[in-house]
Structure 1
Amino acid sequence: MPTPWTAVMQLVEEGKIDLDVDVNTYLKNFKIPDTYPGQPVTMRHLLTHTAGFEDTSLRMTWGDVESLISIQEYCAENIPARIYPPGRLSLYSNYGATLAAVVVEDVSGVPFDQYLQSRIFTPLGMDQTNLRQDLPPEFASRLTKGYKFAHSENLPAEDYILTVGPAGSISSTAPDMAKFLIAHLQNGTYGNATILLPETANLMHSWAFSVDPRVSGMCLGFYEQYYNGRRTIGHGGDTDTFHSELCLLPDEQAGFFVSSNSAGGRGVRDELFAAFMDHYYPGEPVVLPEPDPSASARLQQYAGTYEMNRHNYARFERYIGLPSPITITATLEGTLRMVSSDGTVEYIEGESGIFFPADGSRPVKGNIVFHTAPDGSVEYFAYTNVPVMVYSRLPWFMTADFQDNLKTAAAIILGTVLLWPLLFLFRHTHAIPEPFNPKTARIARWCSGIAALILIMFVYILLPWITGNEGILGTYIQTREIPGTLTAVLTVPVIAAILAIATVAFAVLAWKEKYWTIPHRVHYTIIAIALVAMLWWVHVNRLWAFCL
């Protein structure tokens, strides 16, 4: 919800925060690394989700209220990697929202939950709204539970605590949220209370950034969507079991708020919003152009595998949280076919390079557009009503199919090191003399053999075991502790990498010094290449102990 951003804009209004100044100017207890010299993260970047932070779920949830760390501690200890220069692309960040709350604390000198209470909730009469994780008894007794459908019934889901409270931990009621909604519709005023001056509210509600002119924009804390030709601004909120949406139609002076408490509520939320808009603000019927079969060859430029850019890039979390790929192909009928975890959708190209669902539907997330790089290659696609992320096109060597095939092929090749002891036993059994080789040749085989076998063991035994162990992963994700078992498992490829470096050196030496026969040297060289390939797969997935 846009409450933290409203707090930021209050301090902007008072001249205490400059939207275009380095946030490090305001942070008292830690600093954001200068990853891109001369391109600092500013408050404007945080409000538009263009700071360039990778996504992370580490320590976003916590085991219990008693040991819950503060937002200051969370932000100081879990700074995500900056993967884009600020202002280049939108990438929704819960860390960024929480960091903005830390700035509010540092500038105002007031704990964030108290700031919201005194400057927003109390003035608006939102006496049933609270940000605290340890809710007072009068609130806790009326707090709804989240539900998940299992075994043919809805079962209460386990409650969890959020360390990123400002990004998604407000407990409220529909009447209270209506007050907040009306205050923004009325440019900062509700009843006798004023939480923002009109010029500040207008600035907050205005377009501020877009990844493409055809895509709706980010405002300062809100984001735009266009549905049935109407401009809306709003903000959603999602956990595993709670899904909410606050939406304003500024020109129509109308608003919409919905919240559900079940895992399947995301779809219900979108359907209810669409039904609301279709009933009160109906649009014109969608008129689609006819698909052009002759365009099929041209549409091939959009074909490929795409991946949502909102995920982790630099840590082990990448492997356990990588989003499902989206595959786009051009059909002979002149349409684009998108296959994702949500199903299959065909798109027809319209004006301005906008692709519409071929069935004539109007999905809340909008249509799709492709963005090209200066060299003309397709860089990413975006949904026209989802300004908070894009879907980057993957190079062929980063697709899941290639990665899986590479891993399998490398493992098969590495497994052939088992032929060496079998060959030794065969010679020993049949009294065949062992050809003379220097001690370094024997060491070379030991290095490559151990590296190959421990990598196979890591990939096919240890890694599935560790990623399937909820206790170990839960400790890693929800506490400050890094389990020793996890560290030990991810140290295996580090050891293999050291041995692989030695193997590559020995491969060069083997050809120089003419160890073994030529077929044996070729085999050893192939083993060295397979080790490098498997370790590249490990690196792509950040499966190193130093990436924890």
Structure 2
Amino acid sequence: GKLKVEDRIKRFFPEAPPDKAAITLHQLLTHTAGLPETLGPEDEALPRHAFLKRLYATRLLSPPGQKFLYSNAGYSLLAAVVEVASGRPFGEFLRDQVFLPAGMRHTGFIPDPQDRPRLAHGYNGDGDWGTSLDHPHAPDGGPWWNLRGNGGILTTTGDLYLWFVALQGNAVLSAAEREKYERPYIRETNAEYPQYTYGWSFSKSPAGHRKLAHVGGNGAFQSDFRRYPEDGAMIAIGSNTDDYSSIAVANHLEDWLFGKPFVDPLALVPAKEEELRRCAGTYELAGGAAPERLTVTAEKERLVVTPEGAAGLVLLSGKPEGKRQKRFEAREERVSEAMAAARRGDLKPLAGICVDADEAAKHWRAVMTRTEAQLGPWQGITMLGTRSIGGQIVTHARLLFKKGTRVLDVAWAGSLADHVTVSDRLQPSFFLPDGPSRFVTFDVGTDTLEHLTCEGAGAAAPSLRFEGPSGTVTVRRR
């Protein structure tokens, strides 16, 4: 009873400037306040008063109430409102008023001591990201204010199931409150779906009923939570690496749940070590202006196939067609424009394509300073292509320096880049054994299978045959 969604920010923060004072809680909840995506890095040591001061000084991207613009900063402002209205820290309020009534005893900003050994490590392009506890926290144990209110909560899939159960009944919200909470208010794009409710993307399930979902990630972890209230079903899935998209996996689980066409898990067989070693080596792929190398290494129970350039990407992932080709070409154009501007010293276009604009610019400066110290001045860029890797859409380009090259990877989360990395080589594809001298890989984002056969006899296979989205292609050992 202390809050109404019609309340304006000035009720809680009288010092708010005129352009922000009239923003309502409803506009914050529906991402229509006109605020930007973020105000800085998630782990920046930013207390509440400093966050509010920065938010007040930030220019609105659109007039409040007119346009859907996803804003983590808006949900952080909502967390500040909760603290003012309740007189309690946000994490404490969530625990007592939301999590415990729902039976969620393994959820919160800081896990209980018995739960800490269960924390998963995240992995990104830089390696082991660690756990949430390895990163800066505010003095009260919760995240700093660029993350508070829009993320930073640790939980389990079991507790997410309890949250689903709670929202099916009246443990946390009454029926009238749930109706308001789950009602769609605004389209997220020009398409009919998804539409945004209070904290959920609303669309239709394969059965034609309501589907309420949300995804999230930070470059190391990804998660997808989908509720189907009328169907009495939910999907909660998370991943702790940027190499494989839990969001794409959730699409397959949804198909299976609702009896839609579904790619069955692959039937695999054990691989002999000598068979893996026989396939390993460097092969030559014809095509393009010059032959490319295809490097195959043997790891435990799998082959790792690393392409050198654009022809290798097409071999392993296929050539996109139709709408997918247009989407990929649009991403490549945006990356090319951002890189051209970056060469001129203008990082605004690069920041503009990234989820976290400030952090992207800061990271890019550090990476390029380090790389140019090794390879000399940056001299140009060659676009290699865009593909799905484990369901993650990634645009690749080759950065040209005076003394060598590096590979640019831009990993997308919708229309924005989740993270940008620079590495020594293109990301590989992993092939698992499914028969004698035969291996297979599956991309969960495109539903494509590709088979690899080590041909010939002897300790070193003279050639490999690939059968997949690009047809049948044979590459020969160099």
TM-score by length of 2: 0.52
Residue 58 (structure 1) shift: 1.4
SS of structure 2 residue aligned to 1:236 = strand
Q: For 1:35-434, what aligned pairs fall within 5 Å after superposition?
A: 35=19, 40-62=22-44, 68-79=45-56, 80-132=58-110, 135-148=111-124, 155-157=128-130, 159-161=134-136, 162-163=143-144, 164-186=147-169, 189=170, 194-210=171-187, 211-212=189-190, 214-228=192-206, 230=208, 231-265=210-244, 267=245, 269-283=246-260, 345-347=320-322, 400=337, 404=341
Aligned 8 A contact 2:221 2:241 in 1? yes
Residue 167 (structure 1) shift: 1.1
Q: Determine the structure 1 residue equivalent to 2:461.
A: none
Unaligned 5+ segments in structure 1 are 1-13, 63-67, 286-341, 349-356, 360-366, 369-380, 382-390, 409-463, 474-548
**Number of residue pairs matched?**
286
Q: Determine the structure 2 residue equivalent to 1:23.
A: 9
Aligned 8 A contact 1:22 1:40 in 2? yes
- Deviation string 1:415-464 (CA, Å, 9 cap, x unpaired) is xxxxxxxxxxxxxxxxxxxxxxxxxxxxxxxxxxxxxxxxxxxxxxxxx9
Q: Determine the structure 2 residue equivalent to 1:537.
A: none
Aligned 8 A contact 1:148 1:156 in 2? yes
Percent of aligned pairs with the same amino acid: 21
> Could you tell me how far apart the structure 1 residues matched to 2:217 and 2:90 are?
21
SS of structure 2 residue aligned to 1:61 = coil
Residue 204 (structure 1) shift: 0.6
Change (3 A) 1:41 1:155: same
* Larger strand fraction of residues: 2
Matching residue's letter, 1:235:
H
> Could you tell me how far apart the structure 2 residues matched to 1:200 and 1:465 are?
42
Greater RCO between the two (CA within 8 Å, min separation 6)?
A: 1
Of residues 339, 348, 365 in structure 2, which corresponds to 1:468?
365
Unaligned 5+ segments in structure 2 are 137-142, 263-316, 346-360, 371-478
Q: For 1:494-533, what aligned pairs fall within 5 Å after superposition?
A: none
Aligned 8 A contact 2:29 2:199 in 1? yes
SS of structure 2 residue aligned to 1:262 = coil
Measured on the aligned residues, the alpha-carbon RMSD in Å equals 4.0
- Deviation string 1:331-383 (CA, Å, 9 cap, x unpaired) is xxxxxxxxxxx9975446xxxxxxxx699xxxxxxx99xxxxxxxxxxxx9xx
Q: Determine the structure 1 residue equivalent to 2:18.
A: 34
> Could you tell me how far apart the structure 2 residues matched to 1:181 and 1:197 are?
14
Change (3 A) 1:278 1:102: same
Residue 160 (structure 1) shift: 2.5
- Deviation string 1:92-151 (CA, Å, 9 cap, x unpaired) is 11111111011111111111111011111112221111124xx5533433322112366x
Q: Determine the structure 2 residue equivalent to 1:418.
A: none
Matching residue's letter, 1:183:
A
Matching residue's letter, 1:216:
P
SS of structure 2 residue aligned to 1:106 = helix
Q: Rg: which structure is higher?
A: 1
Aligned 8 A contact 1:229 1:283 in 2? no
TM-score by length of 1: 0.46
Change (3 A) 1:42 1:472: farther
